[in-house]
Amino acid sequence: MTAQQPLAVGLIGAGRMGSFHAETLAHRLPGVRLAAIADPAPGAAQRLGDRLGCATTYTDIGELLTAPHLDGVVIATPARTHAGLVEAAAKAGKAVYCEKPMAVTLAEADRAIAAAADAGVPLQVGFNRRYDPGFRAAHEKIAAGAISTPQLLRSLTRDPELADPARIPPWTIFLETLIHDFDVLGHLNPGAEPVEVSAMADALVRPDFKDRGLLDTAVVTIRFDNGALATAEASFQAVYGYDVRAEVLGSTGMLTMGDIRRTHLTAYGPDGVTAECVTYDQHLFHDAYVAELADFTDSVRTGRTPSATGEDARAALSIALAAIESVTSGGPVRVGKPRDL
């Protein structure tokens, strides 16, 4: 890469999220080029490449990882493949952006972080809420002392629909959904460390899948070392839309963020007041998803640390693992050294 040449980034995983990131790399970021795509599903990488004008496609991920012309890679494969791919990409000298969760055990999180540090490459994780204007402004205000000491925090995620319960691996609600909320709660309580976690979870949307390990509804409470108390909750089915919100009550004020309204239109009629809801993550977080890759590519160019790191991923994972342990044991779990899965 020189000052004149665009940054060459490869994509691994040409599914729903990977396709959005590929479009961002191909069209939405000046000075960035979608230079290769890899996906083991026959034809997946090539179809996406054809659509976006990327001629270099692979079904063998290893070929992309060793391709010499790439400055960085974006990983958007299923969760349990992430840590190994981060490690392999870093060892191949590539800067890494990885979708959340970066890892599902602390041991593999540590290996991924160490691989990036040893290779001297940036490692960014897909905690897109940090890049949403409301969440970003809240973090900046809290860090600047605008509401003094955070005392009570909450974060929630509700997906609109549980389409295919058979495809959801065990503990997904903690490892893949609430992982965002755990990150948000730490980000909105800067400098504080979680010390105790309790969790309850059940299959309320699809009770018929509970005996196959599905948990689709969960509430988690977290105590932080600055005294703040927090709740995170998630549901895989909120019939009205894709609902992501957070709130922080501090000793001198309160901040709320997240808005499910799709537009600023509010319709008033004989039956009452209505507004259209967001029903899709790529609508709610369109700009945040673009901003996180802008941050990543800027980090690759400048060498600065990205705004959501491997350590941040590990911190959120440690809460997720404690929540899982709490559901299993039925009691509160001290955070610090939670048991790996």
Ligand X SMILES: NC(=O)c1ccc[n+]([C@@H]2O[C@H](COP(=O)([O-])OP(=O)(O)OC[C@H]3O[C@@H](n4cnc5c(N)ncnc54)[C@H](O)[C@@H]3O)[C@@H](O)[C@H]2O)c1
Q: Which residues in this chain contact ligand X in the complex, by CB under 6 A?
A: 12-18, 39-41, 44, 61, 76-79, 81, 99-100, 126, 128, 176, 281
Q: Report, in Å, the least distance between residue 32 CB and ligand X.
A: 19
Q: Report, in Å, the least distance between residue 3 CB and ligand X.
A: 31
Q: Report, in Å, the least distance between residue 94 CB and ligand X.
A: 15
What letter would DSSP give residue 218? E
DSSP output for 176-196: IIHHHHHHHHHHTSTT--EEE
Nearer to ligand X, 71 or 281 (CB): 281
Q: Report, in Å, the least distance between residue 42 CB and ligand X.
A: 9
Q: Is 48 exposed, middle or buried (0-12, 13-18, 19+ CB in 10 A)?
A: buried
The residue count of the chain comes to 341
Q: Which residue is nearest to ligand X (CB)?
A: 15
Assigned token pair, 198: 């309790």
Nearer to ligand X, 81 or 149 (CB): 81
Span between the terminal Cα atoms of the chain, in Å: 41
Amino acid occupying residue 197: V
Nearer to ligand X, 104 or 333 (CB): 104
Q: Give 307's contacts (C-beta < 8 A, 6+ positions apart).
A: 124, 130, 131, 292, 295
Nearer to ligand X, 178 or 230 (CB): 178
Nearer to ligand X, 280 or 303 (CB): 280
Q: Report, in Å, the least distance between residue 176 CB and ligand X.
A: 5
Q: Report, in Å, the least distance between residue 93 CB and ligand X.
A: 20
Q: Give 259's contacts (C-beta < 8 A, 6+ positions apart).
A: 134, 245
Nearer to ligand X, 12 or 73 (CB): 12
